[in-house]
Chain A
Amino acid sequence: MTFRLISLFLALLPCAAFAADDRLYVNDKKAPENRKDIDALQAALVKALPQARSATVCIEIGEGSGSGVIVSADGLILTAAHVTAGVKKKVTVILEDGTKLQAETLGLVADTDAAMMRITDPGTYPFVDIDRTNSTRLGDWVFALGHSGGFDKQRGSVVRLGRLVRIANSTFQSDCILIGGDSGGPLFDLTGQLVGIHSRVGQQLQVNMHVPMSEYVKNWDGLMKAEFIGEGPFAKKTEKGNGFIGIATEARAQGGLRVTKVGNKCPAEEQGIKVGDAILKINETPLATPTELQDLLKELSAGDEITLELERDGKMENLTFNLGER
């Protein structure tokens, strides 16, 4: 018993000492008092920005776009659950310089908005350190980065400076103003350490909420294992078999399925699929009977991306789109 306590104490000590050393002194003033204080804030921010920026990414997922931040050299990314919206999904990640990379979503925490993903293209990526010791305090100066409104190479990601104005169990609030597209982007302290992930905003400009790092640290193993954790407003568990295209089909003598009916307001209609078109393959799987199509859809969920090989008037066409929700 005594032994365990001591080892724990020793383990914590270097972290605490490190945090105290690095902490910007202005954070411990109620407000900056003079030119030296505001110069110190600016100098810390300017110094921390390049690395923070190089690790900040834009995430393109379906028709949406959000932000995220790389936290390991092999491409682990932290973002928000309402950005990934599900586990094991394929997404595209864009680095600050415009490089596009393939990635896969890992786990998420549906009730606090935490989520993780991983770049699947092999490589060594710029990354930031995360605050594992929950060192941020009320009133600390923080900065936000994010691809506000989507990726814009000429502009780059947008930085905003503010203070941590509220702390609750699973939420930070800052006065760094966020907007659509910033979702999942990083909130840093002035040493460039990641302290939160952008989650949501209020109608007032001053109300900007972030998921604290402690939520990620607490759920790290589950996030790495691509688990869907918790229930809540930020992500809905997908059920296998609840996705649909919106067509009725019959087998064709020469192979494939002939479309006999197209529903209203369904993915098939949006994609312009017409009665008489023939579906030869879905996700590379050849289809010969309507039952095979149904079996294939049973293994997929609403929102999953499918690629459909279509024959119309003798011409072949590939359509890629997301399944609707039944």
Chain B
Amino acid sequence: MNANWIRSVLFCALATPLPGQQSLESIYRTTGTAVVAVFETQRAVLQTSSAVILEGRKETGYGVVISADGYILTKASEIMEVKAPAVTVDQVRYPEVKIVAVDPAWDVALLKIEAAGLIPVVYAPTSDVPQGTWVVENGSTSRTKRRLMAGIVSAQTREIPASGGAALGVVLNIQSKALEIEEVNEESGAKEAGLQKGDVLLEIEGKPVKKIEEIAEALKDRKAGTNVKITYRRGKDKKTAEVRLAAKGEMFTDQMNRNDMMSGKFSKRRSGFPRVMQHDILSDSTIVGGPLLDLEGRCLGMNIAHANRAENFSIPVEDLKALAERLMKQATEALAPDKADTPAIEAMD
């Protein structure tokens, strides 16, 4: 995102009542109950074909039901943080949820619940709809009833590059002549791979690196969510590790700008997506992962990030379908008894 707007951002005014004003009752506002009532047929689809992901009683995400026997897509980085997720579809709560496959580049996880007779979403034929087209998504939900929010497709479908570029998530000691790690970011792939302060980076994908610029060069065309092979020295040992790359701007959050400050909550992972469609649904919450429906109730995409107060990203239906097929294939291969140890599958109970 372009960072050059800092000086003339919107005036952040306190919402003092305006004198001599006329005001529209809240039920008639865009998110008001009288307005969203018109989307009842789309709400009925959310009721049966979207999932609510719960941690205890707290909603932490939504999901897209893609098969009658209980396969569900959701946002990976958020469900990974839930210790014992449960899922509600329609009025039934499913306490056992397995994460059967993950695509780190799209930040999508495939879940499996023990269910039968679910109603999967119907995919829309294309995500290439004009800007201004109505879209509907999950709003807050009760135990038995899904609510909805509506908005429009609001910008061109495009790639969202990793904010600040894809990075390992380490701070290097600038006094050291070698590429010595000074600090490992808590949210980073470097941390997950076990890198520590004092380790010295030697190679990236087998190519020697000696200067910071060479690291930047080696990572330049790589995407957030993908892995790179790192060779490093710890004491006298030479070691290797697969390190997940993440958006620099999302690991080092002290780089928060004024738009973030006026945005309230936003998704932690909100950049580094191969392709997204954008919509304007007015949402105070960062809960994503559910389907984005068109007026026919068909799935146009899956919500993947609430980027800021005005911009929400969804994975377009073409990419979502391909992703679903790929993850299903991975999961079924992994479930086959003779291939139980297939790598790249992160299973947990």
Residues on A lying within 8 angstroms of B by beta carbon are 30-35, 37-39, 41-42, 45-46, 49, 60-66, 82-83, 85, 113, 138-139, 143, 147-152, 154-169, 171, 173, 175-184, 198-207, 209, 233-234
Contacting pair A165 B133 (CB below 8 A): no
Q: Mark B240-284, 1 if CB is under 8 A from A, else 0.
A: 000000000000000001110011100000000000001010111
Q: What distance in Å separates the Cβ of A86 from its nearest Cβ neighbour in chain B?
A: 12
Q: Which residues of B contact A138 (CB under 8 A)?
A: 22-24
Q: Which residues of B contact A165 (CB under 8 A)?
A: 23-24, 29
Q: Which residues of A contact B175 (CB under 8 A)?
A: none
Q: What distance in Å separates the Cβ of A206 from its nearest Cβ neighbour in chain B?
A: 7
Q: What distance in Å separates the Cβ of B3 from its nearest Cβ neighbour in chain A?
A: 7
Q: Which residues of A contact B30 (CB under 8 A)?
A: 161-163, 175
Q: Which residues of B contact A161 (CB under 8 A)?
A: 30, 132, 151-152, 280
Contacting pair B11 A158 (CB below 8 A): no
Contacting pair B132 A180 (CB below 8 A): no
Residues on B lying within 8 angstroms of A by beta carbon are 1-15, 18-24, 27-32, 34-35, 37-39, 130-134, 151-152, 154-156, 158-159, 257-259, 262-264, 278, 280, 282-284, 295, 308-311
Q: What distance in Å separates the Cβ of B244 from its nearest Cβ neighbour in chain A?
A: 25
Known: A31-B35, A35-B295. A65 touches B8 (CB 8 A): yes
Contacting pair B132 A46 (CB below 8 A): yes
Contacting pair A168 B19 (CB below 8 A): yes
Given A46-B133, A155-B278, 11 more pairs with CB closer than 8 A: A38-B38, A46-B131, A60-B4, A165-B24, A169-B19, A175-B29, A180-B5, A183-B8, A198-B10, A206-B29, A233-B11
Q: What distance in Å separates the Cβ of B95 from its nearest Cβ neighbour in chain A?
A: 34
Closest to A175 in B: B30
Q: Which residues of A contact B280 (CB under 8 A)?
A: 158-161, 176-177
Closest to B18 in A: A168
Known: A31-B35, A149-B259. A163 touches B2 (CB 8 A): no
Known: A37-B38, A166-B21. A148 touches B310 (CB 8 A): yes
User: Which 10 residue pairs spanning A and B have beta carbons closest together?
Assistant: A180-B9, A150-B2, A64-B7, A168-B18, A64-B8, A202-B15, A200-B11, A65-B5, A45-B132, A31-B34
Contacting pair A179 B310 (CB below 8 A): yes
Contacting pair B155 A155 (CB below 8 A): yes
Q: Which residues of B contact A32 (CB under 8 A)?
A: 35, 38
Contacting pair A49 B7 (CB below 8 A): no
Known: A155-B155, A206-B282. A42 touches B29 (CB 8 A): no
Contacting pair B262 A65 (CB below 8 A): no
Tell me the complex Cα distance, A4–B130, Å. Answer: 49
24 residue pairs bridging A and B, Cβ less than 8 Å apart: A31-B27, A63-B7, A64-B9, A66-B8, A82-B11, A113-B11, A138-B24, A149-B311, A150-B3, A150-B4, A150-B5, A151-B2, A156-B156, A158-B154, A159-B280, A160-B152, A163-B28, A163-B29, A169-B18, A169-B20, A179-B259, A180-B262, A182-B310, A201-B13
Tell me the complex Cα distance, A179–B3, Å. Answer: 13
| Most chain A beta carbons < 10 A, residue from B20, B31, B155 | B155
Closest to B39 in A: A38
